Amino acid sequence: MSESTMTVKGQTTVPQPIREAMHLQPGSRLNWNLMPDGTAIVRAKTKSVLDLAGMLKAPPGITVSIESMNPWR
């Protein structure tokens, strides 16, 4: 288990084993989520929604119009 201390300014250092395991570099952004039971979950923000653009490709030869996607036809 790794441990760190918080400064009076609310800053702390992420322990080296944690930085290595999460592949954190200077400037990495962390998302903090507080659960109802008081547990904190910290995740590295490694991708933006914009990074996901173009990941899914339509099968060749199949096209669907916007009108045909409308569920209220």
The CA radius of gyration of the chain, in Å to the nearest whole number, is 21
pTM for the model stands at 0.58
| Per-residue confidence (pLDDT) for residue 73, from 0 to 100 | 58
Task: Taking residues 10-30, report their average pLDDT.
Answer: 93
What residue ranges do the domains of the chain occupy? 16-69
Which residue type occupies 72?
Answer: W
Q: Which residues contact 10 (CB under 8 A, 6 or more apart)?
A: none
Of 5, 18, 9, residue with least CA distance to 44 = 18
Which residue type occupies 15?
Answer: P
Q: Give 21-62 pLDDT, tens digit per residue.
A: 998 999 999 999 999 999 999 999 877 778 778 888 878 887
Query: Which one-letter DSSP state was computed for residue 56?
Result: S
| Per-residue confidence (pLDDT) for residue 64, from 0 to 100 | 82
